[in-house]
Amino acid sequence: MHPGIIFFLVILGSVLFHIFTPWYWTDIASNWGGMDDTITLTFWIGGGVFVAVCLFMVYCVLKFSYKKDRKAEYKPEDKKLEKILTWATTLGVVALLAPGLVIWNQYVSVPKNAVEVDVMAWQWGWQYRLAGEDGKLGTTQVVNINDDNPFGINLDDPFGQDDIMIQSDVINLENNRPVKILLRSVDVLHNWYVPQFRSKMDAVPGIVTYYWFEPNKIGEYEVLCAEYCGVGHYAMRGGVEVQSKEDYDKWISEQETFSDLIAKQEKLELENKKIVKNNNFLLNKDIYKEE
Amino acid sequence: MSDEYENKTGYQAQSSESIASGSIGSGVASDSDYVRPAENAEQDLYHGHSFITKWVFCQDAKVIGVQYFLLATFTGVIGLVLSWLMRLQLGFPGAAGFMTAEHYYQFVTMHGMIMVVYFLTALFLGGFGNYLIPLMVGARDMVFPYLNMVSFWSFFVAVAVLLASFFVPGGPTGSGWTLYPPQAILEGTPGSGMGIILMCVSLILFVAGFTMGGLNYLITILQARTRGMTLMRMPLTVWGIFTATVLAMLAFPALLVGSLMMMLDKLLATSFFMPTILKAGEVLEYGGGSPILFQHLFWFFGHPEVYIVALPAFGIVSDLISVHSRKNIFGYRMMVWAIVGIGALSFFVWAHHMYVSGMNPWFGFFFATTTLIIAVPTAMKVYNWILTLWRGNIRLNVVMLWCLGFIVTFVNGGITGIFLGNVSVDVPLSDTYFVVAHFHMVMGIAPLMVIMGAVYHWFPLVAGRFLNETLGKWHFWLTFLGAYSIYFPMHYLGFIGVPRRYFEMYDSPYMTSAVGMNEFISTAAFIVGAAQFILIFNIIKTLKTGKPAGHNPWQANSLEWLTPSVPPEHGNWGEKLPVVHRWPYDFSVPGAKEDYITQTTPPSEVKDTAVEKT
């Protein structure tokens, strides 16, 4: 078979694969449809260029393959053609870049009414924190983290006391309400990624990073870690449950706040002390008895 | 001192004499044949006498080129085997019983680093650079032959250190080829002890060795070109290697300091890249450093690195297409400026690898714009390649097939680069298999196509014999069709959302749909890998029984084919250096007897042709 024909079949196969592929986007469940649209646009323009260039190549190969008595054209340059091609390419690039930048501008401008979610990552797991009634998250520090204070909230920060703590790798979100994901990590890089939401950002130890989206489809989604974080990377999964407002409000009212936790810890401690005291008393009694 | 001076004046006298005798000999009053006399004395070469000085610690750039080529290929084969093991796990999880997640990540890391740095970079610049630069610019050797030898042996030690990390406790580093701290030097990542240290040491050795070689390439091209070889008469291969070397000289220092700082963080507990970290309930002794700083350093090296591989490939493929289409490369000057422009721009795009890294998101606007600007000169190069084919007289031999394969894979990978460079499109696609597919297509397969084309093209020069065409065609079609069917469908895994660097996919619903595709990709990968052994067999067979090539078997114009002996000997040119009268692309000139006019042909010999002034 003539090589040109095989190359042609490769191009044709690529186009057909793209049209009939069963592997494509998961159904979008957030506001970032614009990203999908830009991808589609890039497919049209970029794919068009790919097909055009390759078909031109195939044509040349078929038409101008070696013949002993033919001489190739001698034409070192064609300024006009080169100019046209440069400008046409520039135009295509601008057509792709412009919508890309517009959407990026939306991506970095978080709506004011977004719910802030503190996503804390470590090797290898997630947990979440939401602002309490005061609507503000308390500040945190890695060095504060211990069993009594799993999120490392600064104890002297009044905003931290009513923070809602979700010590689970699944978080619930309210449908059709923008969410600002605040990412932090206590050890290495991670990335909180839900394919259906299209958006992602690395969690970087030492700083807080963010991104936002607005879930718009009720359902359960899987969270994947998208930045390599060591040997457990592939297993670092979590979950999101997008709920209607009623379900979400019900869920949130059942969650524990930081002050709840402190109170619980204190109660526990008190009980422990009582037990210890009691034990000592009994122990002492025993000792006295023996004497 | 005085000897040198005498030598110089003596040489100048001799060269002007030879011009005079030349014009008398041909009997033409040929002002047009005048070429400026040489400005520098000829180089004294050290000729090896023993086996060791001739073939081991050799100072002949051609031998060093072959040494680089062989060692890089050897390392590349290790990289290939590692990729097989990875694909085995991804396509058929659990099929290799010994494969743990630790192993998998170590193989991913070593495969990536080997292929990018120790295979592609070493092969293009160390291999082709050493062999071709002196020959193509008409020099007797590199300007610093001794340094050139040390360069290769530094590379040798770098490879030895790299491979030694397979045998240290904990094994090689498994931090991904990007070596991102903090995980690279913390427990929880395989090889976070000796592995990462040896990796850093090896990279430092590589950069040191490369700097010695790189200085050689640059100064040879700038200072040792033969008479008449102006910059704008150089083959594009030389332009590509030259620009890539400039990039390497500016980019590798960032990798060097990155490696050094990471070693300090690891060994002396400095905190360049290490913030306060809580590990297993304990706060580590680090604090205040920035992991993103490393990413900036790494990609300030890492992005130009892409072009360090791509630019020599661009240059070489331009020459191959031109020679085998029997047509001048279309728009030579545009091609040169595109190479230089891409090289310059490549230093302003690095953070497009970091759109979702947590750096200030406002950088996204700047880097998306610069990244997409680079698409323009790159597209011009593609147009000029296919326009070179237009109305050519195309020999559809194995060399040309590799070039055509390059065009298809490069355009494909270039277009997907526009997806990833366009910042908001990158958000859903980054860290998925789309990225893996993109960079393998554009900087793995496409440059590999060029390497293969170059091997089939220049083998008759290096060994004096043609490689077998039939075997070559099998090699090409298996590699091209196989590699394309690996990476083209892989993009769609990224659309589904499958993240890269996953040892196991588990059973997320949208991932299970990809099981069949993963099996297919792995099978194709085994075949493509195995197909490379056809080349090795072909080379062995050819060395014994191949068809002798003779002088200038492709009817090319550039100087490397015009040496008095084939293969060229040490010193390249025998008694007298060649004198250049034209660019290397005078193919099919109207009025000429043959369809090529070599660079050394003086105008008086081809008076009746319509050559454009170059």
Delimit the domains of chain A by residue range. Answer: 3-63+76-108, 115-258
pLDDT tens readout for residues B205-217? 999 999 999 999 9
Tell which wins on pLDDT, B348 or B24. Answer: B348
pTM: 0.91
User: Per-residue confidence at B609, pLDDT binned at 50, 70, 90?
Assistant: confident
Strands A170-174 and A179-185: unpaired
A200 contacts in B (CB within 8 Å)?
356, 427-428, 430-431
User: How large is the average pLDDT for residues B56-77?
Assistant: 94
CB of A251 less than 8 A from some CB of B:
no
B484 contacts in A (CB within 8 Å)?
10
Using CB atoms and an 8 Å cut-off, which of residues 80-99 of chain A contact chain B? Answer: 81-82, 85-86, 89-90, 93, 96-97
Q: Which CATH homologous superfamily contains domain B57-234?
A: Cytochrome c oxidase-like, subunit I domain (1.20.210.10)
State percent of chain B over pLDDT 70. 95
What stretches in chain A show pLDDT beneath 70? Answer: 279-291
**Are B394 and A60 inside 8 Å of each other by CB?**
yes
What is the residue whose two structure tokens read 């302003």? Answer: B348
CA separation for the pair B281, B59 (Å, rounded): 57
Alpha-carbon distance A280 to nearest alpha carbon in chain B (angstroms): 31
Residue B7 pLDDT > 80, yes or no? no
A interface test, pick of B427, B436, B441 with most A CB neighbours within 10 Å: B427
**Are A187 and B182 inside 8 Å of each other by CB?**
yes
CB burial readout A128-166, b (16+ within 10 A) else e: bbbbbeeeebbebebebbeeebbbbbeeebebbbbbbbb
Asked if residues A26 and A196 have their Cβ atoms less than 8 Å apart, the reply is: yes
B186 contacts in A (CB within 8 Å)?
187-188, 230
Asked if residues A61 and A4 have their Cβ atoms less than 8 Å apart, the reply is: yes
Q: What is the 3-state secondary structure (H, E, C) of A32-98?
A: CHHHHHHHHHHHHHHHHHHHHHHHHHHHHHHHCECCCCCCCCCCCCCHHHHHHHHHHHHHHHHHHHH
Q: So what's the pLDDT on residue B17?
A: 40
B407 contacts in A (CB within 8 Å)?
53-54, 57
A226 contacts in B (CB within 8 Å)?
430-432, 499
Residue B392 pLDDT > 80, yes or no? yes
Q: So what's the pLDDT on residue B26?
A: 45
The residue ranges of DSSP E strands in chain A, in sequence order, are: 115-122, 125-130, 164-166, 170-174, 179-185, 190-193, 202-203, 209-213, 219-225, 237-243, 256-257
B296 contacts in A (CB within 8 Å)?
none
**Are A201 and B477 inside 8 Å of each other by CB?**
no
**Are A205 and B276 inside 8 Å of each other by CB?**
yes
CB of B404 less than 8 A from some CB of A:
yes
DSSP letter at B500 equals S
Alpha-carbon distance B295 to nearest alpha carbon in chain A (angstroms): 11
CB of B373 less than 8 A from some CB of A:
yes
Closest CA to A208 of A283, A288, A110: A110
CB of B478 less than 8 A from some CB of A:
no
CB of A226 less than 8 A from some CB of B:
yes
Delimit the domains of chain B by residue range. Answer: 57-234, 396-549, 561-614
Q: So what's the pLDDT on residue A30?
A: 93
Residue A174 bridge partners (DSSP): A243
Q: Which CATH architecture describes the domain A115-258?
A: Sandwich (2.60)
User: The dihedral of CA B351, B352, B355, B357: what is its sign?
Assistant: negative
Residue B28 pLDDT > 60, yes or no? no
pLDDT tens readout for residues B488-540? 999 999 998 899 999 988 777 777 778 889 999 999 999 999 999 999 999 99
Output the average pLDDT for chain B. 90
User: Per-residue confidence at B40, pLDDT binned at 50, 70, 90?
Assistant: confident
Interface TM-score (ipTM) > 0.85? yes
CA angle (A41, A42, A45) in 5-degree steps: 85
Looking at the partner chain, which of B276, B392, B588 has a beta carbon nearest the beta carbon of A206? B276
Looking at the partner chain, which of A10, A70, A230 has a beta carbon nearest the beta carbon of B183? A230
Asked if residues B120 and B206 have their Cβ atoms less than 8 Å apart, the reply is: no
